Structure 1
């Protein structure tokens, strides 16, 4: 991926600027590919992330702040994401009996089954995205990214 060609510039950029633009372009490309993989399920990447978090709760409910804390992409519209998943039947929402201000969210059986199907498609897409890297290169890339 040639950054200068993509952003259509002939000017020499500082290495720091070029690196950060490069990372942003790669992020956008990954987001697009995974988003396209999830399109048949009519679920966004953020909704997919919420379902994975809820599955990771192993049957225990999560509240909105737990979801927000664990989201890969931090956002303020977690309530809207949960509402959309609720409409699809993928989650249940109830008021906590001990604290009526607290809303608890659980993944449904339907949500778990759909998530299993999504996992397969996302894993295939992730493998396609990184197919040109060896395991060693991916480990090295992760070490470099950890420095951020």
Structure 2
């Protein structure tokens, strides 16, 4: 296990808080890269996976593009572009809302559900990637929640 000092070749930090922040940002980028590698064989991105998971939670009902954006992990995402790409892959269906002609209702397709099932079979790889126990994962999650409070 390499410490953050070794990873970025910096021996000293101004404070423990600065070290934690640098470590958090470095690890966030590392996780983003690992996520890209994980989803590449499935032909989707992490953001597209996030949308598919949101849609699965609504299935068989639809959800608006605006509501999808509000639930996404990365709220800076261009949801319209992501939905267009998922539609081209036949993973979702977009329909003009009957209640509001300016809005779009989005549904996950059977192909989208099947893709999520295939990905779920490999989720243990994600657990292994973290290299921490279940108890440590809960503690980490609690600490991250505390950071945002």
Q: Same fold (TM over 0.5)?
A: yes
Mapping 1:56-71, distance limit 5 Å? 56-71=57-72
Name 1:12's counterpart in structure 2. Answer: 13
**Structure 1: unaligned runs, 5 residues or longer:** none
Question: Runs of 5+ in structure 2 lacking a partner?
Answer: none
The farther-off stretch of 106-115 and 23-32 is 23-32
Report the TM-score, using the length of structure 2 for normalisation.
Answer: 0.90
1:77-92 correspondence to structure 2 within 5 Å = 77-92=78-93
RMSD: 1.5
TM-score by length of 1: 0.90
- Equivalences for residues 30-45 of structure 1 within 5 A: 30-45=31-46
Aligned residues: 146
Encode CA deviations 1:110-138: one digit per residue, 9 max, x unaligned: 111111112222x123211223x222222
Q: Which protein has greater RCO, CA pairs closer than 8 Å, 6+ apart?
A: 1
What's the offset of the Cα at 1:67? 0.7
User: Is 1:73 paired with 2:74?
Assistant: yes
How far did residue 76 of structure 1 move?
3.8
Runs of 4+ in 1 over 4 A off after TM superposition: none
